[in-house]
Amino acid sequence: MLKFDTRNKKPALYNILAISVVTVIILALLLKDGETHSLGVSLVFSVYIVISLVILAMAFVGQIHYNPYSYNTIYYMGFMLFLLFVLITQLYLTVQIIRYPDTFGTKQILFALLNSAKNYLFLTFPFLLVFSIALCVSNISLIRHEGRRLVNILGIILSFLIVAGALCLFGFDYYIAGREDRHMVLNLCLNLCSAMYLYFECMLIGAIVADIIAARYEPERDKDFLIILGCGIRKDGTPTPLLKGRVDCALSFYRKQKQETGKDLIFVTSGGQGPNEVISESASMKAYLMEQGIPEKKIIEEDRSTSTFENMKFSKEKIWAVNPEGKVAFATTNYHVFRGGLYARRVKMRAVGMGARTRWYFWPNASVREFVGLLTEHRGKQILVFGGMLAIYTVLTFLCFAR
C-alpha cells in the first residue's frame, strides 16, 4: 500500500540527465567510424529507455510519499506511458534487426522511431473514440444536474478536440502518402503533431490515475484536525446529499480513529454563506455534526471561504491558532480530493484527504479539469517539452531524409 506524505525530500530526476549524456557518448562511439552498428545502437537505446522507465517509476512513488497532490504526479505517470510506447517500438526494431541483419539497418531504425508516435496514435484511436463518447455523455449528465457552467462543458470541448484532432492527422497522413516526393517538412509536421497528440493523451491518462489514487487513499488514523470542505446547502439550511456525504465520510474516519487508537480530533467545518443561503455552509455542517453526537467544543467553524483555495487558507489559520504542529486531514467528495490536496499544499499546509462517494458523471470532468490545470499552470514546462520534441523530431527527420 502506498504511503502518503512520509518523506520531506522531493524526488529529483538528475540521474536521467546523467544517463542521457552517457547514452549519447556511447552512440557517438558506435557511429564514429561510419560503419553500421544497427543492433548495438538499438540495444543501447532500449537499455536507456528501460532505465529511464525505472527512474520515472521510482520518482512517481517518491512523489506520492512526498506530496501526492502535485502535478508532478501526473507528469511522471504521463511520461512513463509515453516512454512505454517508445520502448515497444524499440523492442520491435531490435527483433527485426536480429531477424534481418542485412536489410534492417540504421535508416530503418530512424524511420520507425520517426513514425512511432503516428502509428500509436492510429492504434489507440478506438480507445480515444470510446473515451470521448463517454466523456461527452458524462458531461451532458453533469450539465443536467449542475447547470451550464464553463467548468461543466470542458469535457465536451475536449471530446470534440480529441476526435477532430485525430481525424485531421489521419487526413494529413493520407495526403502525404499520396505525394511522390514525400516532402521532408510535411513529414516533420505530421510526426511532430502526432507526438504532441500522444503526449497529451498520456498526460490525460496520468491525470485520471492521479485522481483515482488520491480518492482511494485512506489516511492514517493519527490526526488532530479534520477539515470538512463545504459545498451547497438546501434552502432550509440543511446539508445537500453531496455535503452530507462529505460530513458522513469525516464522521466515519473519526469513529474508526477513536475506536482503533483512542485518539480524539477536532472538526473544522469550512464554508461561507452564499447569496441564496440562509446560513453558512460551516454552520450547516456544525449543526449536522452536533445532531450526530459531536460536542460543540470539538468543532471549529470557518465561515469566510468561498472557494477550495480559501477553504484551505482560512482553515489553516484556525488550526494554527490552536496547534500549528497538529496532523491534518480533510474530507471532501472523491473526485475533489486531488484538487483539495493541491490547494492545501499551496497554502503550506500538509494535509491528506479522504473522499466520499458520488455519482459517476463527476469523475471524467474532474480529471479533465486537472489535465487542463496541468497545461495552464505549468506553461514553462510545456514549452520545454514541446521544444525538446521539436528538436528531436527535426534531427530524426533530417537524418531520415538525408541522402
**Is 322 within 8 Å of 247 (Cβ atoms)?**
no
State how far the Cα of 227 lies from the Cα of 217, in Å rounded to an integer: 16
Q: What is the pLDDT of residue 170?
A: 83
Q: What is the pLDDT of residue 381?
A: 79
Show Cβ contacts of residue 27 under 8 Å, excluding neighbours closer than 6 positions. Answer: 41, 44, 45
The amino acid that residue 119 corresponds to is N
Q: What is the pLDDT of residue 252?
A: 95
Domain co-membership, 52 together with 177: yes
User: Is position 110 within any domain?
Assistant: yes
Q: What is the pLDDT of residue 1?
A: 56
Q: What is the pLDDT of residue 33?
A: 58
Domain co-membership, 22 together with 69: yes
Domain co-membership, 317 together with 381: no
State how far the Cα of 192 lies from the Cα of 173, in Å rounded to an integer: 12
State how far the Cα of 338 lies from the Cα of 213, in Å rounded to an integer: 9
User: Is position 276 within any domain?
Assistant: yes
Q: Up-side HSE of residue 22: CA atoms within 13 Å toward CB?
A: 12
CATH code for the domain in which residue 270 is found: 3.40.50.620
Per-residue model confidence as pLDDT tens digits over 71-107: 889 889 888 888 888 888 888 888 888 888 777 766 7
Domain co-membership, 204 together with 242: no
Domain co-membership, 171 together with 238: no
The number of domains in the chain is 2
Domain co-membership, 71 together with 173: yes
User: Is position 338 within any domain?
Assistant: no
The amino acid that residue 328 corresponds to is V
Domain co-membership, 213 together with 229: no
Domain co-membership, 236 together with 253: yes
| Domain-ending residue, one of 326, 346, 380 | 326
Tell me the chain's radius of gyration from C-alpha atoms: 26
Q: What is the pLDDT of residue 178?
A: 58
Domain co-membership, 318 together with 294: yes
User: Is position 94 within any domain?
Assistant: yes
User: Is position 308 within any domain?
Assistant: yes
User: Is position 123 within any domain?
Assistant: yes
Query: Rounded to a whole number, what is the distance in angstroms from the first to the last CA of the chain?
Result: 54
Backbone angles phi, psi at 7, to 5 degrees: -135, 155
122: exposed, middle or buried (Cβ count in 10 Å: 0-12, 13-18, 19+): middle
Domain co-membership, 202 together with 290: no
- Expressed as residue numbers, the domain containing 304 is 225-326
- Sign of the C-alpha dihedral computed for residues 390, 395, 398 and 399 taken in this order: negative
Helix, strand, coil percent content, the chain, rounded in steps of 5: 70, 5, 25
Q: What is the pLDDT of residue 148?
A: 72
Domain co-membership, 91 together with 137: yes
pTM beyond 0.85, yes or no: no
| Domain-ending residue, one of 267, 298, 326 | 326
Domain co-membership, 260 together with 213: no
User: Is position 355 within any domain?
Assistant: no
Q: What is the pLDDT of residue 94?
A: 84
* Residue of 326, 363, 355 lying closest to 252 (CA atoms): 355
| Domain-ending residue, one of 264, 298, 326 | 326
Q: What is the pLDDT of residue 14?
A: 83
CB count in 10 Å sphere of residue 72: 23
State how far the Cα of 64 lies from the Cα of 73, in Å rounded to an integer: 7
Q: What is the pLDDT of residue 343?
A: 92
User: Is position 348 within any domain?
Assistant: no
Low-confidence ranges of the chain (pLDDT < 70): 1-2, 31-36, 105-106, 145-147, 150-151, 177-182, 361, 402-403
